[in-house]
Amino acid sequence: MSEAYWDDQAATYDRTTAFLEPRLLAPARRWIADRVSGRTLEVGVGTGANLPYYADRVTELTLTDLSPEMLRVASARAAAVGVPVRLLQGDSAHLDLPDDSFDTVVSTLALCCVDDELAVLRELARVLRPGGLLLMADHVESSARLGRGVQSVLERVTPARAGEHYRRRPLLLLEPAGLELVESAASRWRLVEQLSAKLVGS
Ligand SMILES: C[S@@+](CC[C@H](N)C(=O)[O-])C[C@H]1O[C@@H](n2cnc3c(N)ncnc32)[C@H](O)[C@@H]1O
């Protein structure tokens, strides 16, 4: 979806996700935070919901998002948790950042809403240093039949209306992006899946 769409969501995003946050999202955020270290990039940072979980684990932090309004909220949250950040507005598929420049790259709930998820994964792999970790969490195609049924219905409307895809599974795209899985975990019924990955052979 467009920058303008996400700008409009910025003021209400945390209220919209408040029900799911403690039930489904916080466990994934904690899993990711436990693995963050060093020079860190978070893409599609939104309102910065991950920052309170990992702020004390980073040495340098760069936050990017398509939406200037989302970045503004994330920047205020970073200030509230006391972590200095560099902000970069732009598309995750075309980051104005050098190759091999981060120890950790974080992306949560940020692949479900991009046009080309493989292009984004390749870009994240480009900026990750050999031996560094890509940490991701997304709502993905459920392992439960009922979950998949609901997701199929949602998929008929949400991609066009909100840019939201419910049946993606980034874990299956690691290999064509030049990445290999290190670890993964998931919620009940695999509604949310988190993973860590590194550059192949690194
Ligand atoms: C569903 S929100 C997730 C926010 C946050 N990562 C979280 O875990 O709560 C998706 C975010 O991705 C951003 N976004 C959407 N498309 C993008 C793109 N192509 N490049 C960068 N950011 C994008 C939106 O502006 C929004 O802030």
pLDDT mean over 22-33 = 97
What gap in Å lies between CA 37 and CA 125, rounded to an integer? 17
pLDDT class for 94, splitting at 50, 70, 90? very high
Bridge partners for 113 per DSSP: none
Atom of ligand 1 nearest to the CA of 67: 25
Task: Report helix, strand or coil for 145.
Answer: helix
Q: How far, in Å, CA of 196 to CA of 84, rounded?
A: 25
Q: How many CB atoms lie within 10 A of CB 4?
A: 10
Q: Lowest mean pLDDT of 41-45, 66-70, 145-149, 182-186, name the range.
A: 145-149
Centre a 10 Å sphere on the Cβ of residue 71 and count the other Cβ atoms it contains: 24
**Ligand 1 pocket, 142 CB below 6 A?**
no
> pTM for the complete prediction?
0.95
Q: Is 108 in the pocket of ligand 1 (CB under 6 A)?
A: yes
The tokens for 106 are 């974080």
What is the per-residue pLDDT across 7-19, written as a single tens digit (0 to 9) for each? 999 999 999 999 9
138 lines ligand 1 (CB under 6 A): no
Residue-wise pLDDT tens digits, 34-57: 999 999 999 999 999 999 999 999
pLDDT digits (tens, 9 = 90+) for 126-167: 999 999 999 999 999 999 999 999 988 888 877 777 777 888
> For residue 36, which amino acid is it?
V
pLDDT single digits (tens) 165-181: 888 999 999 999 999 99
Percent of the chain with pLDDT over 90: 90
Cα–ligand 1 centroid distance for 99 (angstroms): 22
